[in-house]
């Protein structure tokens, strides 16, 4: 199971893409609002209890100062994937990206692109797939589907070239 957390309900539109990918792969997940600044006690409890509750990976989305992913990573030994969210109080999203990206030594957070929750869901599945052969097979099939889609697009482009 994967935990998907975010600092505000306003982040849900972005973070839903991680949940959608996990659902597509058949991976269970939970979603919660856990604010590093407004509910620090809840954040500490969430991070410290994550492994014992059966979580394997945590995806944490945050905008603005974006402390949630790093703070959760400081509380658990589980892999944490940070999703920088371009929020209304953001400096074009760069503050969120840099806040999550620039973690101190010993507290890593895997960081995806700004609003890149879809990739966070895929990365979580890949982490789970390292020890789950069924998930590995599902991911291999997903990668083949991506390749097939590009091949189809290439054929479309060739048709356009032929019409010139």
74 annotated as a binding-site residue: no
> For 120, how many CA atoms within 13 A lie in the half-sphere containing its CB?
35
- Torsion angle defined by CA atoms of residues 73, 79, 81 and 82, in that order, rounded to the nearest 10 degrees: 10
What are 97's two structure tokens? 């990206």
140 annotated as a binding-site residue: no
Read off φ and ψ for residue 66, nearest 5 degrees.
Answer: 55, 50
Read off φ and ψ for residue 110, nearest 5 degrees.
Answer: -70, 130
Measured from the Cβ of residue 139, the count of other Cβ atoms closer than 10 Å reads: 17
Greatest Cα-to-Cα distance within the chain, rounded to the nearest angstrom: 64
Helix (H, G, I), strand (E, B), or coil: what is residue 82?
A: strand
In angstroms, rounded to a whole number, what is the distance separating the alpha carbons of residues 133 and 135? 5
53 annotated as a binding-site residue: no
Q: Are 62 and 27 in contact (CB under 8 A)?
A: no
> Residue positions in the annotated binding site?
8, 11, 38
> Residue positions in the annotated binding site for substrate?
8, 11, 38
């Amino acid at each position: 199971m994967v935990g998907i957390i975010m600092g505000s309900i306003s982040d849900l539109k972005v973070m839903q893409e991680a949940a959608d990918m996990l659902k597509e792969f058949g991976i269970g997940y939970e979603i919660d609002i856990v604010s590093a600044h407004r509910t620090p006690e809840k954040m500490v409890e969430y991070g410290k209890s994550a492994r014992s509750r059966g979580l394997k990976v945590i995806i944490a989305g945050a905008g603005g100062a974006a402390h949630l992913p790093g703070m959760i990573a400081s509380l658990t030994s589980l892999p944490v994937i940070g999703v920088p969210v371009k929020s209304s109080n953001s400096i074009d999203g760069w503050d969120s990206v840099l806040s999550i990206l620039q973690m101190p030594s010993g507290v890593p957070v895997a960081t995806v692109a700004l609003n890149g929750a879809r990739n966070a869901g895929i990365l979580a599945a890949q982490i789970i797939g390292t020890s789950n052969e069924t998930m590995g097979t599902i991911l291999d099939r997903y990668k083949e589907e991506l390749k097939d889609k590009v091949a189809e697009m290439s054929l479309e482009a060739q048709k356009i070239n032929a019409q010139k």
